[in-house]
Structure 1
Amino acid sequence: MMLEDAQPKLLITTQAQLARFHDIPGMEYLCYSQPLPVSDATPLGLSLPHHTAYIIFTSGSTAGRKG
């Protein structure tokens, strides 16, 4: 699993998805149910759920593909 290889210190997820990651040792979790409210800040042009994302997972040192 990518998370086991990457060994992140923190996983941001929802309560509904948290059970999927219970067996990964040493990881802290931050669960959210909705985004935090924003006051007078100028909105950013963020991605939307229908936008395509491309993620490359490599070893970091050799750039060898991991998945």
Structure 2
Amino acid sequence: MHVRDLTQFLAELSENNNRAWFVMNKPRYDILRAEFLELVIRLIGEITRFDPAVAACNPKKALFR
């Protein structure tokens, strides 16, 4: 996952929180969201080792736009 790209995107989003900017940057969002989802899936897998209750967590529902 490219943390630098994610933090840059979020910083730009906070300065340009409007539909026009988001539509122009949707491809970036889609890529970064997919990478972040993969990270969440891996984290759930690792956390499940010591907290089995986390295994029931749906990674897509754990994310908020």
TM-score of the pair, normalised by structure 1:
0.24
TM-score of the pair, normalised by structure 2:
0.25
Where relative contact order (Cα < 8 A, 6+ residues apart) is larger, the structure is: 2
* Bigger helix share: 2
